[in-house]
Amino acid sequence: MSNGRAISTSVKSEIESPSFIKDFLALIKIGIVNSNLITTFTGVFLAFQFTGISFISNLDLLLFAMLGTGLIIAGAAALNNLIDRDIDPIMSRTKARPTVTGRFNMPAVLAMSLAFIAIGEMLLFSASTSAGLWGLAGVFSYVVLYSMWSKRKHVSNTVVGSISGAIPPLIGWAAVSPSLGIEAWALFLIMFAWQPPHFYALAMRRTEEYRAANIPMLPVVKGFERTKKSMLCWILLLFPLPFMLSGLGIGFIALATLLNIGWLYLSLKGFKAKEDLKWATSMFVYSLNYMTILFVAMIIFSIFI
């Protein structure tokens, strides 16, 4: 019995260890989970504001949407790690993932991933059928369309992957109001257009790693100049989208336009940049700040409509 207690204590200590927690968070890609929950919350909050449905009286919908979305994203991210465990060792950014190091048992990761997705979907369907269906669409587009199909075969993989990244605000909105309004689609389109320049900047910084892993990212296949032109086009596509959120007021449209002008200016500077990787880093950092400021601003301005 004492040996049993010792083993139990050892297992508990292992699970609670900082390294285990760090590996688990890496497995579910906690950064991606957190960033997507920001857009999910924005979808939920704006849906309450634009429909007039009481926020306080329907906190259960917020809970279902946030927990459900977080779980399905975590589950899908872990599945992505399983799928990519043969190429992740080649890239310095991913070679320490627990699916590469063998830290976690692969069948256990698969079971956990599917359990997270199943529980997350039950929560989303508890909010509304529409939220549950959009959740399934997000998982399918990320795991199947992106991870299993386009990532290793097509230079358009980033655009395909942008579909799943744009769905969380739709899930949030659908949890409150299943009939999606133009504002919900504005959130989707903003997230869809934001992702290519964001991820192309990252891909430029990691071009040689992607090349070694035989991943046909745009900078690998078409080169930096073609990538810069594509980034510019996607940024230009962002300019009309804030006007779909005219209900947030002229102040929001002005702020969004200023953010777009700033990103456009930085993008144009890239064509004369002497250090492409330094420029790509500045584009990547700007994109992160852009997304955070824009979505927080949506929430703030919606309070005053």
C-alpha distances in angstroms, 13 versus 10, 18, 109, 151?
Answer: 5, 10, 20, 38
Q: Where are the beta strands (DSSP E) in 16-137?
A: none
pLDDT tens-digit series, residues 222-259: 999 999 999 999 999 999 999 999 999 999 999 999 99
Residue ranges of domains in the chain: 18-179, 181-305
Task: Assign 12 a pLDDT band (cuts: 50, 70, 90).
Answer: very low
pLDDT of residue 7: 41
User: What is the pTM assigned to this prediction?
Assistant: 0.92
Q: Which CATH superfamily is domain 18-179 in?
A: UbiA prenyltransferase (1.10.357.140)
C-alpha distances in angstroms, 296 versus 75, 278, 299?
Answer: 26, 28, 5
Task: Determine the average pLDDT of the residues in 87-107.
Answer: 87
- For residue 2, count other CB atoms closer than 10 A to its CB: 6
Burial class of residue 189 (count of CB atoms within 10 Å of its CB; 0-12, 13-18, 19+): middle
Task: Assign 18 a pLDDT band (cuts: 50, 70, 90).
Answer: low
Q: Check if the beta carbon of residue 260 is closer than 8 Å to that of residue 201.
A: no
Task: Assign 17 a pLDDT band (cuts: 50, 70, 90).
Answer: low
Task: Assign 95 a pLDDT band (cuts: 50, 70, 90).
Answer: confident
